[in-house]
Structure 1
């Protein structure tokens, strides 16, 4: 398999080494119907102290990539360097210690919280698992965390069903923060919330990033949300990263046809504003049988015969910006 990360690696120096450096990462699932190519040959840097957005249609492999980075599922191939440690070679015992440094905020604020436990026990679950503090110290820690995420300490004796959706997501965030992690995967963490509540949670994540110098991978399908929250964006299609770059640059001038189609589908608040649409025909192919070459070619309005032969290497289109498209290479 060719190393498609070469262009990205050349831009990374020891002075600005990312917290996570992912190289040629793949995750396959073997099923009776064949091999599911959930993540395929992904190379990506996640800078320390930044929020990187990961966007794409449902079924593009975003959640699988996020969980693979946390070693919640084991990769099929590739490397994941986290703060200098190679996660793919760590034993289960070594990963237990690493879990304190990396956490996840789940998409559904209802099903991700145990309805039989009070908030105090939910938030303190990681503290107990890692034997952090005594019972009184853990209770004080939970109280401080609830205050930090916009709840009150006296709510720790309640059950999840006594809270609204936004409040439940704040509980999930407090649980993720309990072990003082360096890196958090936020998996569609606002998609189940009302728009007004989404804004509150996004602002909370920004505040937490600044106060704690957190590094985040924010998984979403709404590019307008990602543009507001994130420093960088990676666009994923059928298990592949097709474009990466600074959020503002990518949102204002997308280079890949798939990114342009995603941006053109974002609703505009002004219905009188004239706009063009890049409408994609057909559905995303099955990861059981992905197209040869460029996986987007079956829906791409600019596909060339050469697109069926290989997946394009990352093409540099500006500082920190890359896109995988043969059209960019030949233009």
Structure 2
């Protein structure tokens, strides 16, 4: 049985990862106060995103993935914790300083329809960030927009059209071009292929890989499909009810999942061979309300291997080898 990491070992491992990390999160929480109580959307999350990598964030709907992604950019203000980007603490920046920082941090939204202003032409949508930051003249911005559209697989001649004149995949490419306009170092891609047909998903995923290689970008790719994340990402973090329950290199985590929640997610991925035998791990019930999360391990109410000790406290990290860590006392 793997041994839980000691406090010293945990801190040493985190220090090594943080040295190479573009984004380092410690104890990050986001809570919303509602009439019925406090919503624990993100609770005490610590995560390092290595420079130049694509880190996948997976989990069921309601796990807090989108809230975490938006909190990293301070589109949603954190309730507690630290967000360090390239060594700079984001939570201590003023609004003006954060506006300047957002040139280096951008987001690709989930819905390629509602995220684009239907009253603006594509050239104005893509150049919106350039105008907001006072970058370039009008002609320089048009040249920049034309180059960006070509980079994402669209024609510069299409810049005078409106969003409704494009397909879903083309609209998502416009959203990607807009995110690239300011030449950011870090991008949050929030479920950026989930609304697309499978064939179009593959094209957009390959586009993101090409952009990462060309620009040396760092990405947080939010998704619920582990097969997509396995294809695209270098590392994976699994999130359940506001907490990270497992992290590790993508290939190792998918081939050798340690946490029971990760195993259940993987067993739900459709297989191309209908005759292949497989051991399904079907979860009973639905994800609990973040208004009243379970004590201890938040997954224990649905876990087929839950022990009495799971209700006491959230499990410490357990090393599963090669940078692979899971929060479970029953490994």
Q: Report TM bin, short chain.
A: over 0.9
Aligned match for 1:133, one of 130, 136, 139: 136
Match runs of 1:27-106 below 5 Å: 27-106=30-109
Contact 2:189/2:219 (8 A) holds in 1:
yes
In 2, the alpha carbon distance for the partners of 1:5 and 1:181 equals 35
Q: Deviations over 1:144-185 (max 9, x none)?
A: 000000001110000000100000000000000000000000
RMSD of Structure 2 on Structure 1 (CA): 1.5
Could you tell me whether the CA contact under 8 Å between 2:152 and 2:176 is conserved in 1? yes
Instruction: Pick the aligned partner of 1:225 from 223, 228, 250.
Output: 228
Deviation of the 1:9 alpha carbon: 5.1
Q: Which residue of 284, 287, 290 maps to 1:284?
A: 287
CA–CA distance in structure 1, aligned partners of residues 99 and 258 of structure 2: 41
Name stretches of at least 5 consecutive residues in structure 2 with no aligned partner.
1-5
Cα distance between partner residues in 2 of 1:7 and 1:259: 22
Contact in 2 for aligned 1:261/1:280 (Cα 8 Å): yes
Q: Note the alpha carbon deviations across 1:187-207, whole angstroms, 9 max, x for none.
A: 000000000000000000000
Q: In the TM superposition, what whole-angstrom CA distance separates every residue of 1:258-313 from its partner, at most 9, and x where no partner exists?
A: 00000000000111111110001111100000000000000001101000000011
Extract unaligned runs of 5+ from structure 1: none
Question: In structure 2, do the counterparts of structure 1 residues 75 and 258 end up closer, same or farther at CA, with 3 Å as the change threshold?
Answer: same
Task: Tell me the SS of whatever aligns to 2:15.
Answer: coil
Q: Secondary structure at the match of 1:290?
A: coil
- Displacement of 1:12 in angstroms is 3.4
Which of 202, 210, 214 is equivalent to 2:213? 210
Deviation at 1:316, TM superposition (A): 1.2
1:158 to 150, 157, 161: 161
Kindly state the Cα deviation for residue 10 of structure 1 after the two structures are TM-superposed: 2.6
Q: How far off its partner does 1:17 sit?
A: 2.2
Q: Report how many aligned residue pairs link the two structures.
A: 326
SS in 2 for 1:81: strand
- Equivalent residue runs for 1:260-275 within 5 Å: 260-275=263-278
TM-score (norm 2): 0.96
Contact 1:5 1:23 in 2 (8 A): no
Instruction: Report if aligned partners of 2:18, 2:24 keep a CA contact under 8 Å in 1.
Output: no
Alpha-carbon separation, structure 1, partners of 2:301 and 2:111? 33
1:5–1:219 Cα change, 3 Å: farther
Q: Cα 1:300–1:294, aligned 2, differ >3 Å: closer, same or farther?
A: same
